[in-house]
Amino acid sequence: MYARLLRNDLIASLQEDYVTMARAKGLSSKYIMRRHAFRPSTFSLATVAGINMGRLIGGTIIIEAIFAINGMGLYVVQSINQRDSVPLQGAVLVIATSYVLINFAVDILYAFLDPRIRHARATA
């Protein structure tokens, strides 16, 4: 899935005017691919990867409950079965915080991939 997404975005990026301009300037294909095509193409890849990390966090609850693996997921299920709300709230807090931190890391990655995002924030 990630490879198809990156491939489609690379095809679209290679057809942009700035890539044509870079080719006209005589830059090497490797440099054009790395600097002008790959970086803008990774935005949707980073977004999908961040969203999928949230799905993986949710999936661990199910997997740990089914296979009785000690971890946060089994802890959540046991807290639900025992109707113990305080540990459940703590576990939900930890899971939600990790999801927010993952999304924050994706946002930081956006600033690394596109310097215009950093400069737009600095001038605003």
Residue the block writes with tokens 């975005």:
9
Is pLDDT of 17 > 80? yes
Predicted TM-score (pTM) of this structure: 0.75
Confidence of residue 111 (pLDDT cuts 50, 70, 90): confident
Mean pLDDT, rounded, for 98-116: 87
Cβ of 47: how many Cβ atoms within 10 Å?
Answer: 16
Distance CA 36, CA 38 (A): 6
Mean pLDDT computed over 100-114:
88
The string of pLDDT tens digits covering residues 85-98 is: 999 999 999 999 99
Amino acid, res. 77: V
Is the model more confident about 102 or about 35? 102
Question: Cα–Cα distance between 32 and 38 in angstroms, integer?
Answer: 8
Helix residue ranges, H only, 68-84: 72-81
Q: How far apart are CA 72 and CA 57, in angstroms?
A: 10
Between these two residues, 124 and 76, which has the higher pLDDT value?
A: 76
Domain boundaries, the chain: 2-123
Q: Does residue 83 have a pLDDT over 80?
A: yes
Residue positions counted in the chain = 124
pLDDT of residue 119: 65
Percent of the chain whose predicted confidence (pLDDT) is above 90:
49
| Rounded distance between C-alpha atoms, residue 41 and residue 6, angstroms | 6
- Phi/psi at 7 (nearest 5 deg)? -60, -45
